[in-house]
Structure 1
Amino acid sequence: MGSQLVRNGRVSPAAVLGWIGLGAVVVTAFLAALGGLNQTLYGASSFVTRYLELIADDDIALAAATPGVSLDQADLAALGLPGDVSTAMLRSGVVSATPQDVQIVSDIGHDDGSHTVTASYRIGTSIVDTAFEVRPIAPLYGVLNRWEFAVSPMAVIDVTAAHNPFFSVGSLDLDTRARKSGNDLAAFTQTAPYLAIAPAAYRFSFESPLLIAQTVDLAAEPSTRPAVTVDAQPTPEFVSRVQTQLDAYLDGCAAQQVLQPTSCPFGEEISDRVLSEPQWTIVTYPPVTLNAGEAAFEMPPTTGVAHLSVEVQSLFDGEISQLETDDTFQVALDASIQPDGSIAVQLK
């Protein structure tokens, strides 16, 4: 055999042709395999699927690092966002529901090499179809396709923390004032934007001894800017503590043995001569109710009753008698939580 392939120290033409044919087969097989990889594992559809699977696995950091997901300064400026917009939600343990049962509905290639990949998936009980625009970037090792999102799927969630700057999302507790300063820190209602991976669902809430907000579920679709309000309202403990302060204030008024207690909502004018020290008692304390106002929780004008007991002498005929009378009054107030957790009450 060897003598047929090599004669007189030279490779025969048949051998050369054989090696060329074998090389062509190998190259053809390699190119076919490469083409298969670029159509499947390294295809545009697989790129989108991997991104959705990362979210499903709650690997939010890696999903956010997927090419074309992060927003640069120009992107942020185009969205009207500050350069230091919060990325606090881009972490694991925040998302409440992720894309499941992912299926690629279509993958349409375009003349410029970009693709429109439509994926169908379920988030919670909702079935969603989303079209992702992806485009090629520098290939891996010069031969394997790589992709990036032509339009970032990142969502921006505008969170309004009403009547309390704090809110919870998933396992994370956040303060909407974190990137604010000056007078903005004092606002009773705060709004702040947060970058959030999408598609995904988020659950917002807040609960403390003094305030509680109903849970709000929000589904963030890719490349959208949804808004959510976390509406904090006083708990029974908050109301009780304000009631305690109000009752103590009224008791202090009643302790003043004068007809017109200083800085108090009740008092009596008597034309007769007063013979004893006036004795006040609170018959009915105004029940505290609190509603959110523009700058604090407000109690509307609410009725109470104080009783006066005092001995008097008529200037007309000198008759001495014990005056017993009820004085109906009203109290309104503002209540706010201080940084140290105490409650400041301001009468109106």
Structure 2
Amino acid sequence: MTKSFSNFADLASFIASETDSHDRAATYEHAFIEHDERAKLSPVDEAEQLDMPDPEQARVAVEMVMATLFDVFRDTRLEPYAADLAWGFVNSFHVVAKRINDREDDAAKELGELARNFDPSEIYAAQLEDAQLLCQTLQGCRDAMECMRDHASEVYRVETGRPYSPTRGSRVSRGVTASMIDARDYLASRIRERREQFAPEGPVVAFSGGQVWEDHEGLWRGLDSIKARIPEMILATTAQTKGCDAIAQAWAAARGVKVILFKLDRRLGAKAAFVRNDRLLALRPVEAVVCEGSGIQMNLAQKLRQAGVPLHVVKLDETVKARLAQPKTDLPKSRDEFDPWTQDDYYRDMVNGGRQRRR
């Protein structure tokens, strides 16, 4: 919260410019689609005529609530708490979307059972129709809730400079699929959709760094240069909440890049970080960035080099080093000391297809 605004019109203009309001309006239009003129919200409720909220009104309401929260607290003693309250607002959408998703899972299981046990009777046909309508209704509600969550999280990112992240679990956005014709097609489509959300396909770029870092602009420029070469990249980070990983996750949120978070498995004790490095390497990244940090980063850099992964090693600024009380562990030297982000010769034998570099 570093910018000040004299009125709500200026605030709205700023948020609109930072969040691509035209694209956002189209996203709302797609997310608030009614698959059927009828809606069924629970297995025991009868289907009834219920419309979705107006997408434009929903978009304006979400933006106004988030913007007003930050603007009212700006330059007051409550300003430090605005981000926490805004996070709670975003998280409320996330929690409700998760609950709807769980109900959708239960409904899909019931639909699957019906689809596997075909019965030519009219009673069966009515049950199948109700089950599919329930799934479609819950899917539409979940899509709308996730759309509002993503919009609120984008305003949160613009205001705070960091992306919204839930305390537990994944955050995925599925968008709206086409209307389903029969139960088997519906279930097959739903399975494909979920697989892509939780196991996205694309070239992986690994990223890790220390928890002390100030040059966020340099990291953003470097990641932009990688994305220019690998437009469909997926960023895999070691998921630290501050420093380099937090900067990379903020960049990914701003650029619309999918992120895989490799959090520590505390049950593994002292070896947890090294096991995390192995799991990150198991994704077979086509490129990697390691910023100077601790021995954990040095271990990851060594393993990436041994695997032949094109590696950018970014050193901590000397002036920052001088201010730190504890010395930092040195990382292996970058192949390009002048500009670690420019290593065109390093890509001749390992292009986006992911072939191993010849030694």
Which category of TM-score, normalised to the shorter sequence, fits these structures?
A: under 0.3
Structure number with higher relative contact order (C-alpha < 8 Å, ≥ 6 residues apart): 2
TM-score (norm 1): 0.21
TM-score (norm 2): 0.21
- Counting strand residues as a fraction of each chain, which structure ranks higher? 1
- Counting helix residues as a fraction of each chain, which structure ranks higher? 2
Larger Rg belongs to: 1
